[in-house]
Amino acid sequence: MKLHLIRLAKAQGEARFPGVKGFRSYVLKEPEEVTEARMYLLLEGEVVVDLPDKSYLHLRRGEAAHLEGPHLLTPIDPSVLAVWKL
């Protein structure tokens, strides 16, 4: 099965593969607090990830991050993320 994740996320707010649990792509427009482990692949836009130790990650298109603890996602502009819950 082939899905255009960016196009579907923009049109519907999110996209999922049928039968694949824990995965989705979605449009991030506002800051979002996350408390669980996740892996991200930024498909479009820019996102700053604030970490509990006061450090941060700056993700750009095509970059990925694996985060095991709580974090705050803040889009620089509307961004499309592919996310796996771990």
As a whole number of angstroms, the distance between CA 25 and CA 35 comes to: 18
CATH architecture, range 5-85 = Sandwich (2.60)
Six-digit token string for 80? 């499309």
As a whole number of angstroms, the distance between CA 37 and CA 22 comes to: 11
Residue 65 has pLDDT above 90, yes or no: yes
> Which sign does the torsion angle of CA 12, 75, 36, 23 carry?
positive
* Per-residue pLDDT tens over the stretch 28-64: 999 999 999 999 999 999 999 999 999 999 999 999 9
pTM above threshold 0.95: no
Cβ neighbours around 47 below 10 Å, total: 24
**Residue (of 22, 24, 68, 26) closest to 47 by Cα position:** 26
